[in-house]
Structure 1
Amino acid sequence: MVVDELDQDSVDRLFAALADRTRRDIVTRVLVHEESVSALAQRYDMSFAAVQKHVAVLERASLVTKRRHGRERLVRGDVGTLRTATRLLEQYEQLWRGRLERLDDLLAEDDERTHERSDPHPSTAGDAP
């Protein structure tokens, strides 16, 4: 189970990082191809330092990695971490689907009981008036 693979702090960092629109956009861009932090900074209406902070949050969440290439720091997306997030969300979905199925079963049982109480002598198909 993925939940057991990750400690709660890692899960919190992962989803907190993905909660921000700019960070989701950065992840999307660097999954396609590596980009330098300075190239990323040119894409957004914010300071270089602000983009660096977004990248740092993504890096702490293991959604991106950085490597030095000359004077630049290249950012690359980590598909494995996104797959982990997907598996975690799928587990939550299965949990809720199971709960909804149990709720449907309980409601169906309640409907049957209500119907039985309201019609104590159900007619049979062969009865004539």
Structure 2
Amino acid sequence: MKVYRYWMDTGVDLRVRGGADAYLRGCPSRDVLDMIGSKWTVLIVPALREGPLRFGELRRRLDGITQKSLTQTLRTLERDGLITRTQYPTIPPRVEYALTDLGLRAVALLAGVRDWAEANLADVLAARAAHDARADS
């Protein structure tokens, strides 16, 4: 068993972490971090916090997202179990996206990342400007 072998080789027992250690190159949790770290995931998941939204509603809420990026991100979130896609048998077809229990557990984390970015934007921009000024000297 891979987890047990890692424990034997290093003394780190990953069984207490459910077998995951994102610091390891081959750990599948890195794929989850890629998905969670996507700017569109950080915006889509909290946008669904209040309830289901249709594709067009999400696209209007996420100013600047392309149809392709929204479609790809929604497919990824559905595959990873954070959202559900419900298609209603109407004409024209109506599709809604909603958070699953797993998605609801991610809302606070992802909204926190967005809140931090908004609250610290001025400091980040000042740091960038100072860095760029030093680099140009």
TM alignment of 1:1-129, pairs within 5 A: 3-4=18-19, 9=28, 11-43=29-61, 44-69=63-88, 70=90, 71-80=93-102, 83=105
Secondary structure, counterpart of 1:28 in structure 2: helix
Q: 1:75 to 1:13 in 2, by over 3 A?
A: farther
| Alignment partners' CA distance in 2, 1:2 and 1:82 | 21
Q: 1:2 to 1:38 in 2, by over 3 A?
A: farther
Q: Which amino acid aligns with 2:57?
A: A
Gaps of 5+ in 1: 87-129
Q: 1:65 to 1:19 in 2, by over 3 A?
A: same
RMSD: 2.7
Count of matched residue pairs: 82
CA contact (8 A) 1:64 1:77 kept: yes
Residue 36 of structure 1: how far off its partner (Å): 1.0
Q: 1:2 to 1:62 in 2, by over 3 A?
A: farther
- Once the two structures are superposed, what CA deviation does each residue of 1:44-84 show, in whole Å capped at 9, x if it has no partner? 21222221111112112211111112312211112235548
| Alignment partners' CA distance in 1, 2:86 and 2:98 | 8
Gaps of 5+ in 2: 1-15, 21-26, 109-137
Greater than 6 Å deviation, 4+ residue runs? none
CA contact (8 A) 1:34 1:76 kept: yes
Residue 110 of structure 1: aligned partner: none
CA contact (8 A) 1:64 1:78 kept: yes
Q: Using CA pairs below 8 Å that are at least 6 residues apart, which structure has the higher relative contact order?
A: 1
| Alignment partners' CA distance in 1, 2:17 and 2:97 | 26
CA contact (8 A) 1:34 1:75 kept: yes
| Alignment partners' CA distance in 2, 1:27 and 1:81 | 7
Residue 40 of structure 1: how far off its partner (Å): 0.7
